[in-house]
Chain A
Amino acid sequence: MPKDLRSFLRDLTAGAPADLVTIDREIDPKFEITALQRHLEREGRSPTLLFKNVRNLRGEPSGFRLVTNVFADRRKCAVALDLPRNQWRMETSFEFARRARERVKPVVVSREEAPVKEVVKVGKEANLFDLPVVTHHEMDGHPYLVDAIIAADPDTGVYNSSHHRMLVKDHDKLGLWMSPRHLWDYFRRAEEWGEPLPIAHVLGHHPGFYLASEAICPMADDELEVIGGVLGEPLRLVPSEAFGSRLMVPAEAEIVVEAEVLPGVREPEGPFGEFTGYYGPQRWSPVAKVRAITHRRDAMYLNILVGHADTSILGGIPKEAGIYEEIRRAVPNVRAVHFPISGCCRFHAYISIDKKVDGQGVVAGMAAFPHHDELKHVVVVDSDVDAFNEADVMERIRPEEWLKEGDKR
Protein backbone atom coordinates (compact mmCIF):
# COMPACT_ATOMS: atom_id res chain seq x y z
CA MET A 1 0.00 0.00 0.00
CA PRO A 2 1.39 3.45 -0.89
CA LYS A 3 2.07 5.79 2.00
CA ASP A 4 -0.58 8.38 2.77
CA LEU A 5 -2.06 10.24 5.72
CA ARG A 6 -4.07 7.15 6.71
CA SER A 7 -1.06 4.83 6.76
CA PHE A 8 0.72 7.36 8.97
CA LEU A 9 -2.17 7.50 11.45
CA ARG A 10 -2.11 3.70 11.62
CA ASP A 11 1.66 3.73 12.27
CA LEU A 12 1.26 6.45 14.88
CA THR A 13 -1.44 4.70 16.86
CA ALA A 14 0.12 1.23 16.58
CA GLY A 15 2.72 2.14 19.20
CA ALA A 16 0.82 4.75 21.16
CA PRO A 17 -2.98 4.89 20.78
CA ALA A 18 -3.16 7.94 23.03
CA ASP A 19 -1.30 9.94 20.36
CA LEU A 20 -4.56 10.24 18.43
CA VAL A 21 -7.55 11.90 20.08
CA THR A 22 -10.90 11.72 18.27
CA ILE A 23 -13.46 14.51 18.74
CA ASP A 24 -17.05 13.60 17.85
CA ARG A 25 -18.89 16.80 18.76
CA GLU A 26 -19.65 19.31 16.02
CA ILE A 27 -17.00 21.97 15.72
CA ASP A 28 -16.67 25.22 13.79
CA PRO A 29 -13.40 25.69 11.88
CA LYS A 30 -13.45 29.39 12.75
CA PHE A 31 -11.20 29.73 15.81
CA GLU A 32 -12.52 26.65 17.69
CA ILE A 33 -9.91 24.22 16.40
CA THR A 34 -7.06 26.66 16.99
CA ALA A 35 -8.37 27.41 20.49
CA LEU A 36 -8.34 23.72 21.40
CA GLN A 37 -4.83 23.22 20.02
CA ARG A 38 -3.58 26.28 21.91
CA HIS A 39 -5.19 25.03 25.11
CA LEU A 40 -3.48 21.64 24.76
CA GLU A 41 -0.17 23.31 23.90
CA ARG A 42 -0.32 25.36 27.11
CA GLU A 43 -0.83 22.10 29.02
CA GLY A 44 2.24 20.63 27.32
CA ARG A 45 0.15 18.14 25.35
CA SER A 46 0.33 17.61 21.62
CA PRO A 47 -1.84 14.66 20.55
CA THR A 48 -2.86 14.44 16.92
CA LEU A 49 -6.48 15.54 16.77
CA LEU A 50 -9.10 13.96 14.51
CA PHE A 51 -12.33 15.96 14.28
CA LYS A 52 -15.11 13.79 12.88
CA ASN A 53 -17.84 16.42 12.63
CA VAL A 54 -16.59 19.75 11.26
CA ARG A 55 -18.68 22.47 9.64
CA ASN A 56 -17.88 23.83 6.20
CA LEU A 57 -17.62 27.52 5.34
CA ARG A 58 -21.42 27.79 5.04
CA GLY A 59 -21.80 26.59 8.62
CA GLU A 60 -23.21 23.21 7.55
CA PRO A 61 -21.82 19.74 8.38
CA SER A 62 -19.01 19.38 5.85
CA GLY A 63 -18.86 15.59 5.63
CA PHE A 64 -15.05 15.88 5.84
CA ARG A 65 -12.99 14.82 8.80
CA LEU A 66 -10.21 17.18 9.89
CA VAL A 67 -6.78 16.17 11.21
CA THR A 68 -4.32 18.50 12.89
CA ASN A 69 -1.29 18.50 15.23
CA VAL A 70 0.40 15.93 12.97
CA PHE A 71 3.80 17.64 13.38
CA ALA A 72 3.39 19.03 16.90
CA ASP A 73 5.86 16.58 18.48
CA ARG A 74 9.19 15.41 17.06
CA ARG A 75 8.31 11.83 18.01
CA LYS A 76 5.59 11.86 15.36
CA CYS A 77 8.12 13.00 12.76
CA ALA A 78 10.35 10.09 13.81
CA VAL A 79 7.42 7.73 13.17
CA ALA A 80 6.83 9.41 9.80
CA LEU A 81 10.42 8.55 8.89
CA ASP A 82 9.97 4.93 10.02
CA LEU A 83 12.14 5.39 13.12
CA PRO A 84 11.32 4.26 16.65
CA ARG A 85 9.69 7.18 18.44
CA ASN A 86 12.52 7.38 20.98
CA GLN A 87 14.92 8.38 18.17
CA TRP A 88 13.44 11.88 17.91
CA ARG A 89 16.60 13.90 18.48
CA MET A 90 19.42 14.13 15.91
CA GLU A 91 18.56 10.67 14.55
CA THR A 92 15.37 12.09 13.02
CA SER A 93 17.24 14.99 11.39
CA PHE A 94 19.94 12.66 10.03
CA GLU A 95 17.34 10.26 8.67
CA PHE A 96 15.52 13.09 6.95
CA ALA A 97 18.77 14.31 5.36
CA ARG A 98 19.71 10.80 4.21
CA ARG A 99 16.34 10.27 2.59
CA ALA A 100 16.26 13.74 1.02
CA ARG A 101 19.60 12.96 -0.69
CA GLU A 102 18.36 9.64 -2.10
CA ARG A 103 15.99 11.00 -4.71
CA VAL A 104 13.22 8.71 -6.00
CA LYS A 105 11.47 9.57 -9.27
CA PRO A 106 7.65 9.73 -9.18
CA VAL A 107 5.47 7.31 -11.12
CA VAL A 108 2.26 8.03 -13.02
CA VAL A 109 -0.87 6.01 -12.26
CA SER A 110 -4.30 5.94 -13.90
CA ARG A 111 -7.30 7.89 -12.62
CA GLU A 112 -8.87 4.61 -11.53
CA GLU A 113 -5.88 3.91 -9.26
CA ALA A 114 -5.95 7.39 -7.72
CA PRO A 115 -8.02 7.74 -4.52
CA VAL A 116 -7.94 11.53 -4.89
CA LYS A 117 -10.15 11.16 -8.00
CA GLU A 118 -13.02 9.44 -6.17
CA VAL A 119 -14.90 12.75 -6.16
CA VAL A 120 -14.22 15.24 -8.97
CA LYS A 121 -15.67 18.74 -9.09
CA VAL A 122 -14.72 20.98 -11.99
CA GLY A 123 -15.58 24.58 -12.88
CA LYS A 124 -18.61 25.97 -11.06
CA GLU A 125 -19.01 22.74 -9.07
CA ALA A 126 -15.63 23.32 -7.41
CA ASN A 127 -16.57 25.32 -4.33
CA LEU A 128 -14.13 26.17 -1.55
CA PHE A 129 -17.06 26.81 0.80
CA ASP A 130 -17.69 23.03 0.83
CA LEU A 131 -14.43 22.54 2.75
CA PRO A 132 -13.77 22.92 6.51
CA VAL A 133 -11.08 25.55 5.97
CA VAL A 134 -9.75 26.81 9.29
CA THR A 135 -9.66 30.43 10.40
CA HIS A 136 -6.68 30.31 12.74
CA HIS A 137 -6.26 33.64 14.49
CA GLU A 138 -8.34 36.74 15.18
CA MET A 139 -6.63 39.18 12.83
CA ASP A 140 -6.58 36.64 9.98
CA GLY A 141 -10.28 37.39 9.75
CA HIS A 142 -10.81 34.73 7.11
CA PRO A 143 -10.03 31.05 6.46
CA TYR A 144 -6.66 30.05 5.06
CA LEU A 145 -5.34 26.96 3.27
CA VAL A 146 -1.94 26.23 4.81
CA ASP A 147 -0.70 22.87 3.50
CA ALA A 148 1.67 22.52 0.52
CA ILE A 149 1.42 23.95 -2.99
CA ILE A 150 2.96 22.13 -5.94
CA ALA A 151 3.70 23.72 -9.30
CA ALA A 152 5.82 23.01 -12.36
CA ASP A 153 8.61 25.36 -13.44
CA PRO A 154 7.22 27.11 -16.57
CA ASP A 155 10.62 26.75 -18.31
CA THR A 156 12.00 23.39 -17.21
CA GLY A 157 8.93 21.50 -15.96
CA VAL A 158 10.62 20.46 -12.70
CA TYR A 159 8.36 20.64 -9.69
CA ASN A 160 8.44 22.75 -6.57
CA SER A 161 6.54 21.86 -3.40
CA SER A 162 6.39 24.49 -0.69
CA HIS A 163 4.27 26.04 2.02
CA HIS A 164 2.43 29.31 1.40
CA ARG A 165 -0.58 30.94 2.98
CA MET A 166 -3.71 31.00 0.78
CA LEU A 167 -6.65 33.17 1.78
CA VAL A 168 -10.14 31.98 0.84
CA LYS A 169 -11.57 35.19 -0.68
CA ASP A 170 -14.63 33.63 -2.33
CA HIS A 171 -16.01 30.24 -3.31
CA ASP A 172 -13.59 30.08 -6.27
CA LYS A 173 -10.99 32.70 -5.44
CA LEU A 174 -7.82 32.60 -3.35
CA GLY A 175 -5.27 35.21 -2.33
CA LEU A 176 -1.71 33.89 -2.29
CA TRP A 177 1.31 35.38 -0.56
CA MET A 178 4.63 34.00 -1.84
CA SER A 179 8.02 34.68 -0.29
CA PRO A 180 10.56 35.44 -3.03
CA ARG A 181 11.70 31.85 -3.49
CA HIS A 182 11.04 29.13 -6.07
CA LEU A 183 7.25 29.34 -6.50
CA TRP A 184 7.46 33.13 -6.58
CA ASP A 185 10.04 32.85 -9.36
CA TYR A 186 7.85 30.41 -11.33
CA PHE A 187 4.99 32.91 -11.16
CA ARG A 188 7.24 35.87 -11.98
CA ARG A 189 8.33 34.20 -15.22
CA ALA A 190 4.82 33.02 -16.16
CA GLU A 191 3.50 36.51 -15.51
CA GLU A 192 6.16 38.06 -17.77
CA TRP A 193 4.70 36.00 -20.60
CA GLY A 194 1.16 36.98 -19.61
CA GLU A 195 0.39 33.38 -18.65
CA PRO A 196 -1.37 32.03 -15.54
CA LEU A 197 0.58 29.61 -13.35
CA PRO A 198 -1.20 26.29 -12.62
CA ILE A 199 -0.88 25.22 -8.99
CA ALA A 200 -2.32 22.51 -6.77
CA HIS A 201 -2.85 22.84 -3.03
CA VAL A 202 -2.39 19.38 -1.50
CA LEU A 203 -4.62 19.10 1.57
CA GLY A 204 -3.71 15.85 3.28
CA HIS A 205 -0.92 13.43 2.50
CA HIS A 206 1.69 11.49 4.48
CA PRO A 207 3.71 13.81 6.78
CA GLY A 208 6.85 12.89 4.80
CA PHE A 209 5.32 14.79 1.87
CA TYR A 210 5.21 18.00 3.91
CA LEU A 211 8.59 17.52 5.62
CA ALA A 212 10.16 17.13 2.17
CA SER A 213 8.41 20.31 1.06
CA GLU A 214 10.56 22.14 3.64
CA ALA A 215 13.85 20.78 2.23
CA ILE A 216 16.24 23.45 0.98
CA CYS A 217 16.99 22.51 -2.63
CA PRO A 218 18.52 24.22 -5.66
CA MET A 219 15.96 25.60 -8.14
CA ALA A 220 16.89 22.96 -10.74
CA ASP A 221 16.04 20.04 -8.44
CA ASP A 222 12.70 18.29 -8.84
CA GLU A 223 11.15 18.35 -5.38
CA LEU A 224 8.72 15.55 -6.20
CA GLU A 225 11.84 13.35 -6.31
CA VAL A 226 12.82 14.70 -2.89
CA ILE A 227 9.36 13.79 -1.62
CA GLY A 228 9.83 10.28 -3.02
CA GLY A 229 13.17 10.03 -1.24
CA VAL A 230 11.72 11.13 2.09
CA LEU A 231 8.74 8.79 1.71
CA GLY A 232 11.11 5.98 0.75
CA GLU A 233 8.96 5.13 -2.27
CA PRO A 234 7.94 6.81 -5.55
CA LEU A 235 5.31 9.52 -5.20
CA ARG A 236 2.33 8.37 -7.29
CA LEU A 237 1.02 11.07 -9.61
CA VAL A 238 -2.06 11.51 -11.75
CA PRO A 239 -2.91 14.28 -14.26
CA SER A 240 -4.88 17.19 -12.83
CA GLU A 241 -8.45 17.79 -13.98
CA ALA A 242 -7.97 21.38 -15.10
CA PHE A 243 -4.49 21.23 -16.61
CA GLY A 244 -4.00 17.58 -17.58
CA SER A 245 -0.38 16.43 -17.63
CA ARG A 246 0.82 20.07 -17.45
CA LEU A 247 0.24 19.74 -13.70
CA MET A 248 0.47 16.32 -12.11
CA VAL A 249 -1.05 15.90 -8.65
CA PRO A 250 -0.46 13.30 -5.91
CA ALA A 251 -2.77 10.30 -6.33
CA GLU A 252 -2.76 9.51 -2.59
CA ALA A 253 -3.77 13.02 -1.48
CA GLU A 254 -6.93 13.41 0.53
CA ILE A 255 -8.01 16.65 -1.18
CA VAL A 256 -6.46 18.64 -4.05
CA VAL A 257 -7.50 22.18 -4.95
CA GLU A 258 -6.43 22.99 -8.51
CA ALA A 259 -6.09 26.67 -9.34
CA GLU A 260 -4.22 29.09 -11.55
CA VAL A 261 -2.45 32.20 -10.33
CA LEU A 262 -3.62 35.03 -12.57
CA PRO A 263 -1.07 37.30 -14.28
CA GLY A 264 -1.31 41.03 -13.63
CA VAL A 265 -3.84 40.72 -10.80
CA ARG A 266 -3.15 41.89 -7.25
CA GLU A 267 -5.51 42.35 -4.31
CA PRO A 268 -5.16 42.85 -0.54
CA GLU A 269 -4.42 39.63 1.38
CA GLY A 270 -3.70 39.17 5.08
CA PRO A 271 -2.84 39.82 7.87
CA PHE A 272 -2.09 36.23 8.76
CA GLY A 273 -0.73 34.68 11.97
CA GLU A 274 2.63 33.56 10.65
CA PHE A 275 5.24 30.97 11.63
CA THR A 276 6.99 33.60 13.77
CA GLY A 277 4.08 33.68 16.21
CA TYR A 278 3.30 37.21 15.03
CA TYR A 279 0.98 38.39 12.30
CA GLY A 280 2.45 38.89 8.86
CA PRO A 281 1.02 42.16 7.50
CA GLN A 282 -1.60 42.64 4.83
CA ARG A 283 0.10 42.41 1.43
CA TRP A 284 -0.74 43.34 -2.14
CA SER A 285 -0.79 39.77 -3.35
CA PRO A 286 -1.48 37.66 -6.44
CA VAL A 287 -4.89 36.04 -6.85
CA ALA A 288 -5.65 32.45 -7.86
CA LYS A 289 -8.84 31.21 -9.55
CA VAL A 290 -10.02 27.73 -8.51
CA ARG A 291 -10.53 25.39 -11.48
CA ALA A 292 -11.20 22.04 -9.83
CA ILE A 293 -11.41 20.28 -6.47
CA THR A 294 -10.90 16.54 -6.22
CA HIS A 295 -10.95 14.39 -3.11
CA ARG A 296 -11.43 10.97 -1.60
CA ARG A 297 -15.00 9.95 -0.83
CA ASP A 298 -14.32 10.03 2.95
CA ALA A 299 -11.54 12.61 2.81
CA MET A 300 -9.59 13.95 5.78
CA TYR A 301 -8.66 17.64 5.61
CA LEU A 302 -5.17 18.20 7.04
CA ASN A 303 -4.63 21.50 8.82
CA ILE A 304 -1.24 22.71 10.06
CA LEU A 305 -1.43 25.25 12.89
CA VAL A 306 0.92 28.00 11.79
CA GLY A 307 2.81 29.89 14.48
CA HIS A 308 2.83 26.98 16.92
CA ALA A 309 4.71 23.69 17.42
CA ASP A 310 2.82 22.08 14.54
CA THR A 311 4.50 24.27 11.95
CA SER A 312 7.71 25.05 13.87
CA ILE A 313 8.81 21.41 14.06
CA LEU A 314 7.77 20.80 10.46
CA GLY A 315 10.15 23.56 9.37
CA GLY A 316 12.97 22.79 11.79
CA ILE A 317 13.81 19.15 11.21
CA PRO A 318 14.69 19.56 7.51
CA LYS A 319 17.14 22.35 8.38
CA GLU A 320 19.04 20.77 11.28
CA ALA A 321 20.99 18.13 9.36
CA GLY A 322 21.85 20.63 6.62
CA ILE A 323 23.43 23.00 9.10
CA TYR A 324 25.12 20.08 10.86
CA GLU A 325 26.87 19.17 7.59
CA GLU A 326 27.94 22.78 7.02
CA ILE A 327 29.43 23.00 10.51
CA ARG A 328 31.11 19.60 10.21
CA ARG A 329 33.23 20.89 7.32
CA ALA A 330 34.79 23.43 9.69
CA VAL A 331 34.42 21.59 13.02
CA PRO A 332 34.52 17.80 12.46
CA ASN A 333 33.69 17.11 16.09
CA VAL A 334 30.20 18.72 16.01
CA ARG A 335 27.73 16.43 17.76
CA ALA A 336 24.24 17.92 17.38
CA VAL A 337 22.32 20.88 15.99
CA HIS A 338 18.89 21.71 17.34
CA PHE A 339 16.43 24.40 16.26
CA PRO A 340 14.25 24.83 19.38
CA ILE A 341 10.56 25.71 19.37
CA SER A 342 11.39 28.85 21.38
CA GLY A 343 12.91 30.22 18.17
CA CYS A 344 10.10 28.86 15.98
CA CYS A 345 12.61 26.18 14.89
CA ARG A 346 14.12 28.83 12.57
CA PHE A 347 15.70 31.66 14.52
CA HIS A 348 17.78 29.94 17.24
CA ALA A 349 20.26 27.08 16.90
CA TYR A 350 21.79 25.11 19.76
CA ILE A 351 24.98 23.39 18.65
CA SER A 352 26.95 20.92 20.73
CA ILE A 353 30.58 20.15 19.93
CA ASP A 354 33.24 17.90 21.41
CA LYS A 355 35.71 20.78 21.63
CA LYS A 356 39.35 19.81 21.03
CA VAL A 357 41.01 23.22 20.72
CA ASP A 358 40.13 26.78 21.68
CA GLY A 359 38.22 28.67 19.02
CA GLN A 360 36.18 25.77 17.69
CA GLY A 361 33.05 27.10 19.38
CA VAL A 362 33.30 30.40 17.53
CA VAL A 363 33.97 28.63 14.23
CA ALA A 364 30.97 26.33 14.71
CA GLY A 365 28.75 29.30 15.47
CA MET A 366 29.93 31.31 12.48
CA ALA A 367 29.62 28.33 10.14
CA ALA A 368 25.92 27.98 10.94
CA PHE A 369 24.78 31.40 9.72
CA PRO A 370 25.30 31.25 5.94
CA HIS A 371 23.21 28.09 5.59
CA HIS A 372 19.93 29.57 6.76
CA ASP A 373 18.95 33.20 6.21
CA GLU A 374 16.45 33.30 9.09
CA LEU A 375 18.95 32.28 11.77
CA LYS A 376 19.44 35.02 14.42
CA HIS A 377 21.03 33.41 17.50
CA VAL A 378 23.45 30.54 17.91
CA VAL A 379 24.51 28.96 21.20
CA VAL A 380 27.44 26.54 21.13
CA VAL A 381 27.80 24.18 24.09
CA ASP A 382 30.05 21.28 25.04
CA SER A 383 28.93 17.80 24.06
CA ASP A 384 27.99 16.89 27.64
CA VAL A 385 25.05 19.28 27.25
CA ASP A 386 21.95 17.96 25.50
CA ALA A 387 21.31 20.45 22.67
CA PHE A 388 17.71 19.18 22.60
CA ASN A 389 17.14 20.14 26.25
CA GLU A 390 16.65 23.89 26.35
CA ALA A 391 16.95 24.09 30.12
CA ASP A 392 20.35 22.41 29.95
CA VAL A 393 21.52 24.79 27.23
CA MET A 394 20.24 27.89 29.04
CA GLU A 395 21.94 26.80 32.22
CA ARG A 396 25.26 27.23 30.44
CA ILE A 397 24.43 30.84 29.60
CA ARG A 398 24.85 32.44 32.98
CA PRO A 399 26.95 35.18 34.50
CA GLU A 400 30.61 34.30 34.68
CA GLU A 401 30.57 34.85 38.45
CA TRP A 402 28.28 31.83 38.78
CA LEU A 403 30.71 29.68 36.87
CA LYS A 404 33.53 30.80 39.16
CA GLU A 405 31.52 29.49 42.11
CA GLY A 406 31.72 26.04 40.61
CA ASP A 407 29.27 23.73 38.95
CA LYS A 408 26.12 23.58 41.10
CA ARG A 409 24.70 20.48 39.44
Chain B
Amino acid sequence: MARIFWVKCPHCHKRFYAATVDFRHKGRKLWCPFCGAEFLDDEAEEITE
Protein backbone atom coordinates (compact mmCIF):
# COMPACT_ATOMS: atom_id res chain seq x y z
CA MET B 1 0.00 0.00 0.00
CA ALA B 2 1.19 3.49 -0.85
CA ARG B 3 2.32 5.89 1.87
CA ILE B 4 -0.28 8.63 2.34
CA PHE B 5 -0.62 12.18 3.61
CA TRP B 6 -3.81 13.90 4.76
CA VAL B 7 -4.79 17.30 3.41
CA LYS B 8 -7.54 19.74 4.35
CA CYS B 9 -9.15 21.37 1.31
CA PRO B 10 -8.65 25.20 1.44
CA HIS B 11 -12.10 25.69 -0.11
CA CYS B 12 -14.54 23.32 1.65
CA HIS B 13 -12.28 22.50 4.63
CA LYS B 14 -12.92 18.76 4.38
CA ARG B 15 -10.09 16.27 4.78
CA PHE B 16 -8.99 13.53 2.41
CA TYR B 17 -5.77 11.71 1.67
CA ALA B 18 -3.46 11.21 -1.26
CA ALA B 19 -0.43 9.10 -2.18
CA THR B 20 2.80 10.77 -1.06
CA VAL B 21 4.74 9.42 -4.04
CA ASP B 22 2.26 11.00 -6.49
CA PHE B 23 1.60 14.44 -4.97
CA ARG B 24 3.93 15.51 -2.17
CA HIS B 25 6.38 18.15 -3.47
CA LYS B 26 5.57 17.11 -7.05
CA GLY B 27 3.89 20.32 -8.23
CA ARG B 28 0.73 18.34 -9.16
CA LYS B 29 -2.64 19.70 -8.17
CA LEU B 30 -4.78 17.65 -5.80
CA TRP B 31 -8.51 17.37 -6.52
CA CYS B 32 -10.92 17.63 -3.61
CA PRO B 33 -13.41 14.73 -3.83
CA PHE B 34 -15.98 16.76 -1.90
CA CYS B 35 -16.07 20.13 -3.72
CA GLY B 36 -13.93 19.59 -6.83
CA ALA B 37 -11.41 22.30 -5.94
CA GLU B 38 -7.90 21.87 -7.30
CA PHE B 39 -4.91 22.96 -5.26
CA LEU B 40 -1.23 22.21 -4.70
CA ASP B 41 -0.18 20.35 -1.57
CA ASP B 42 1.47 23.51 -0.19
CA GLU B 43 -1.83 25.39 -0.61
CA ALA B 44 -3.70 22.91 1.62
CA GLU B 45 -5.20 24.38 4.78
CA GLU B 46 -3.53 21.62 6.72
CA ILE B 47 -1.22 18.70 5.96
CA THR B 48 -0.71 15.67 8.19
CA GLU B 49 1.97 13.15 7.25
Contact = CB atoms under 8 A, between A and B. Distances in A.
A282 B34 contact: no
A232 B7 CA distance: 49
Interface residues of A, number: 15
Contact of B31 (A268, A276, A279, A281): A268
Given A139-B16, A271-B17, A283 B22 contact: yes
B11 interface: no
Interface string A127-157: 0000000000001111000000000000000
Contacts of B19: 281-284
B17 A282 contact: yes
Contacts of A271: 16-18, 33
Contacts of B30: 268, 282
A93 to B, nearest CB: 26
Contacts of B16: 139, 141, 271, 282
A282 B33 contact: yes
A82 interface: no
A284 B19 CA distance: 8
Interface string B4-18: 100000000000111
A372 to B, nearest CB: 16
Interface size class of B (residues with CB under 8 A): 10 to 19
Contacts of A279: 17
Nearest to B3: A281
B46 to A, nearest CB: 16
Interface string A162-182: 000000000000000000000
A30 to B, nearest CB: 13
B28 A140 contact: no
A356 to B, nearest CB: 39
Contacts of B38: 268
Contact of B34 (A141, A270, A281, A283): A141
Interface string A200-228: 00000000000000000000000000000
A268 B18 CA distance: 9
A283 B30 CA distance: 9
A156 B5 CA distance: 39
Contacts of B4: 281
Contact of B33 (A141, A267, A284): A141
A279 B2 CA distance: 11
A112 B35 CA distance: 44
Nearest to B22: A284
Given A141-B16, A268-B31, 15 more contacts: A139-B16, A139-B33, A141-B33, A268-B18, A268-B23, A268-B29, A270-B18, A271-B18, A280-B2, A281-B18, A282-B17, A282-B31, A282-B33, A283-B2, A283-B19
5 interchain residue pairs of minimum CB distance:
A141-B33, A268-B31, A282-B18, A284-B22, A281-B19
